[in-house]
Amino acid sequence: MIYDLIIVGGGPAGMAAGIYAARQKLNTLLITKDFGGQMARKAVAIENYPGFGEISGFELINKFAAHLKKFPVEILQDAVVRIKKTGQTFSIFTKNKKTIQAKAVIIASGADPRPLELPGEKKFIGKGVSYCTACDAPLFAGKKVAVVGGGNSGFEAAIALSKWSKKIYVLERGSKVRADQRNQEIAKKTGKIEIITDVVLKEVKGKNFVNSIVYQDKKRKNNITLSVEGIFVEIGSQPATSFVKGLVGFNKRDEIKISLETCQTKTPGLFAAGDVTIIPYKQIVIAAGQGTIAALSVSNYLSKQSEG
């Protein structure tokens, strides 16, 4: 059997694509490890998905998933390891050794947190090093922690941690932080958050668990050891695209090049939507809008195929 459409990814873009594809009566399979994408990592309430004044990431995922499940979209809990196109048909190979075919594919695999690539970092994952404040903040109740990254994500992580931890350092590489004014104000009000700029990270240290992070002060050129029991990494994300190399073009940030009008990649029938693409702003409502464009474009693409 050949599906009309396989959607790779269960974040906002993939779920929106699924809703629209089903409404276009496309026989659709959605493959994902889990639902939610970046929403699942949100440590503070989401205040900017229009229609929901304030909602937790977890709740918003459930709303999207419930909406999707109203429609007959098949869901496979698996990961895609390779995509191949032969003639007009795509073959999708999964981690659990399945091979599935489709006439069109939407890649909505989102992005993974970018690691620091620092000595000691990998060793202490789950032992003090975390990429998910929403998941791990409560483990650091009463402790000192560091958040790496002075953008909005870093500040939101620090604000969320301030409910648990006694002291949070926000470490920023540049000479000033990049978070928006609102987040900076909220951070200040907590009275627990200290911002350190001009930071060049050197090493994560510990015994069984993290006990410190070493950095160089870029201005004074001296090395400083900061005692912390937790390190939250918030320096952006990298698109999850390893399985699709060869079929699509990438920009220098390894994001998939698409036509923003149709979400189609350079391979006919292969579309991409959401944070995995070149779209400059990574926001839930933008990703959902792109998933919608991709699904409607797939419907057009398949109508033309069947006519031709």
Distance CA 223, CA 202 (A): 9
Work out the number of other CB atoms within 10 angstroms of the CB of residue 126: 9
Check 4, 34, 78, 136 and give the catalytic one.
136
Check 132, 198, 217, 254 and give the catalytic one.
132
| Strand ranges for the chain from DSSP E | 2-8, 28-32, 74-77, 80-86, 89-94, 99-107, 111-113, 129-130, 144-148, 167-171, 193-196, 199-206, 210-217, 223-227, 230-233, 237-239, 270-272
The residue (of 118 and 256) whose beta carbon lies closer to its own copies is 256
104 contributes a contact to its own copies by CB under 8 A: no
Stretch of residues binding its own copies (CB under 8 A), selected from 9-17, 82-90, 194-202, 223-231: 9-17
| Number of residues assigned to the chain | 308
Q: How is residue 120 annotated by DSSP?
A: T
> At a CB cut-off of 8 Å and minimum separation 6, what does 59 contact?
none
285 contributes a contact to its own copies by CB under 8 A: yes
Q: What's the closest the beta carbon of residue 280 comes to its own copies, in angstroms?
A: 6
> At a CB cut-off of 8 Å and minimum separation 6, what does 7 contact?
14, 17, 18, 21, 28, 29, 30, 31, 105, 106, 108
25 contributes a contact to its own copies by CB under 8 A: yes
The residue (of 23 and 218) whose beta carbon lies closer to its own copies is 23
Strand order in the sheet with 193-196: 129-130, 230-233, 144-148, 167-171, 193-196
Answer for which of 9, 11, 12, 206 binds its own copies (CB under 8 A) is 12
Answer for which of 6, 21, 60, 83 binds its own copies (CB under 8 A) is 60
Could you say which residues in the range 33-52 bind its own copies, by CB under 8 A? Answer: 47-52
236 contributes a contact to its own copies by CB under 8 A: no
Distance CA 253, CA 159 (A): 28
The residue (of 25 and 188) whose beta carbon lies closer to its own copies is 25
Answer for which of 27, 211, 238, 283 binds its own copies (CB under 8 A) is 283
Distance CA 227, CA 225 (A): 6
272 contributes a contact to its own copies by CB under 8 A: no
263 is catalytic: no
The residue (of 196 and 286) whose beta carbon lies closer to its own copies is 286
Q: What's the closest the beta carbon of residue 248 comes to its own copies, in angstroms?
A: 18
Q: What's the closest the beta carbon of residue 18 comes to its own copies, in angstroms?
A: 9
Q: What's the closest the beta carbon of residue 261 comes to its own copies, in angstroms?
A: 6
132 is catalytic: yes
Distance CA 13, CA 274 (A): 5
Answer for which of 1, 261, 306, 307 binds its own copies (CB under 8 A) is 261
The residue (of 62 and 91) whose beta carbon lies closer to its own copies is 62
Could you say which residues in the range 153-192 bind its own copies, by CB under 8 A? Answer: 180-182
Stretch of residues binding its own copies (CB under 8 A), selected from 106-114, 116-124, 228-236, 289-297: 289-297
Distance CA 6, CA 101 (A): 8
Q: What's the Rg (C-alpha) of the chain?
A: 21
Which residues belong to the active site? 132, 135-136
Binding positions for its own copies, rule: CB under 8 A:
12, 15-16, 19-20, 23-25, 47-54, 60, 63-64, 66-67, 70, 180-182, 260-262, 278-281, 283, 285-293, 296
